[in-house]
Structure 1
Amino acid sequence: MSEPVRYEQDGNVLTLTLNRPETRNSLTEMDMVDALVGCLERAQGDMSVRAVVLTGAGTAFSSGGNIKHMRDDVGTFAGGSSQIRENYRRGIQRIPRAFHELDVPCIAAVNGPAHGAGCDLTLMCDIRIASQTALFAESFAKVGIIPGDGGAWLLPRTIGLSRACEMIFTGAPIDAQQALDWGLVSRVVPDDALLDAALTLAHAIAANPPGVLRMSKRLVREGQRMDLPSLLELSAAFQGIAHRTADHREAIAATFEKRAPRYNGD
């Protein structure tokens, strides 16, 4: 069987590809959880990674939960209520926790349907680019369950409470254009241009100092739960670090010398 997630680095840009097209890249199998969490932890620990692109193999980004496993009460869905709760905590819920700890900017290149947990997976990324055939659905209600992987926290913060409730309560999909109109994605591109667009953006991000990128992302994340005075204090502390880096001095020198900067993460 193929590896669940492909890990491919080009310079400072890492591409992660969900690699189970036969299940439409479902997320609830433990080997997929382990592989994706492992890739995120590896990227977090590698300062040469300055941007991540996440996409899916085949025609779907991710189908979310494995419906066949739900029907057969196996894997994540095996056992009584208490056991299933623990299965979620030790299984798929490790994914949003790993994304929350990832300080590297992450782009979701949504190449097809992103349903249920697959939709929530796009929300765990910082930026979303959709192909014209992408579909987004908080489809949990359609199979008689609730968002179990953080969607009820992520979606309202992305598109607002009213639209999030509409998606969660109906389970109905929205297409790429509606996702753009609602602010779920930042752009829509032709299917055959999706990966190039995501990689171009990733390389533009990766052209900046890695430490600054990581601190900037952490500020944005912490700002979702901090009041302004607390965020200003954290910003001042991070700025004190940034001003004394070699990369800051290199950026200033390159500006005056009218050349491209060369950052090494120091």
Structure 2
Amino acid sequence: MSNPFLKITRDGAIVTLTMNQPETRNALTGNTAVAEFVQACADIALDRSVRAVIVTGADPAFCSGGNVKDMLRFQSPDLQPEAIREEYRNGIQRLPKALYHLDVPVIAAVNGPAIGAGLDLSCMCDIRIASEKATFAESFVKVGIVPGDGGAWLLPRAVGMSKAAEMAFTGEALDAQQALACGLVSRVVPHERLLDEAHALARKIAANPGGVLRMTKRLLREGERSSLESLLELSAAYQALAHTTADHHEAVRAFIEKRAPRFVG
């Protein structure tokens, strides 16, 4: 498509990725969305000066997930299941592998409906804050398909298995306050304040040493699938690295000297 899906902006150590095709409610299929997300994540991963990322959508939606009109092509009698499987593996499934595994902390600023793969996209982020206009639905069942983008793995880790099953089996939407009550989001803010709140949170994160932020996020990710013993071993190795960094030395000196630290990365 001629217009990029992502609008990428930067403020110091904070990168904001705005899904910017409001005419499709920022749908993730039938366009270059996945490829752009994958490239953006690769660029951010290599840029050690980036300390926080915000993902949001151009109003009125955060992300409508898969483009239902684009699904019509799967009804072709000439299209074999094997081809559809490969399209998922080489298409939408590249998104969670890139975004969920990005070492930099990621905040989803959910400004409106997050539907299907749009909800799952928010769950690929570390922190979710919601506008009062946000809604959330694991709605694949409503169009006769299953979560093909990893939602069955992501959503239970965000809200627990019982709530995830309820959402996936009914396809019904939660409003922002319901999402807050079940822990899907950590806060709900006025719509006009959403990006200000997201940037304020990102600045608090970015004020900390970048290398330690990345290692901390990796420990959180590894902790989701590791034994305590394995995670303790990895934590000891990361801690050995952290203790040798200039930022750690500066933090200790600043604490002793009762001043604000000056981290250099």
TM-score range, shorter chain: over 0.9
Aligned residue for 1:145?
145
The equivalent residue for 1:63 is 64
- Equivalent residue runs for 1:1-266 within 5 Å: 1-73=2-74, 79-265=79-265
Distance 1:23 1:98 in 2: 23
Q: Give 1:6 deviation, angstroms.
A: 1.1
Alpha-carbon offset, residue 30 of structure 1: 4.6
The structural deviation recorded for 1:224 is 0.4
Secondary structure of the corresponding residue to residue 145 of structure 1: coil
TM-score with structure 1 setting the length: 0.96
Cα distance in 1 for residues equivalent to 2:219 and 2:16: 24
Task: Decide which moves more: 78-87 or 134-143.
Answer: 78-87
- Mapped partners of 1:59, 1:69: distance in 2: 21
CA distance in 2, matches of 1:123, 1:27: 15
Q: State the alpha-carbon separation in 2 of the partners of residues 148 and 72 from structure 1.
A: 17
3-state SS in 1 of match to 2:100: helix
Query: Which whole-Å deviations, capped at 9, do the CAs of 1:85-117 have from their partners, x for residues lacking one?
Result: 100100010000002330000000000000000
The alpha carbon displacement at 1:253 in A equals 1.5
Alpha-carbon RMSD: 1.4
What is the identity, as a one-letter code, of the residue corresponding to 2:195?
L
**TM-score, normalised by the number of residues in structure 2:** 0.96
Q: Distance in 2 between matches of 1:63 and 1:178?
A: 19
Deviation at 1:32, TM superposition (A): 0.9
CA shift digits 1:152-194 (9 cap, x unpaired):
0011111111100000000000000000000000000000000
Structure 2 residue runs without a partner (length 5+): none
Q: When the two structures are aligned, how many residues end up with a matched partner?
A: 263
Preserved contact between residue 29 and residue 65 of structure 2 (Cα < 8 Å): yes
1:72 CA drift (Å): 4.1
For residues 200 and 2 of structure 1, the distance between their equivalents in structure 2, rounded to whole angstroms, comes to 29
Deviations 1:95-149 (A, max 9, x none): 0000233000000000000000000000000000000010000000000000000
Tell me the percent identity. 61
Please give the secondary structure, in 1, of the residue aligned with 2:32: helix
Judge conservation of contact 2:37–2:99 (CA < 8 Å) in 1: no
| Aligned partners of 1:30 and 1:91 also within 8 Å | no
Q: Secondary structure of 1:250's match?
A: helix
Q: Which amino acid aligns with 1:12?
A: A
The Cα of 1:259 is off from its aligned counterpart by 2.4
8 A Cα contact 2:132 2:191, kept in partner: yes
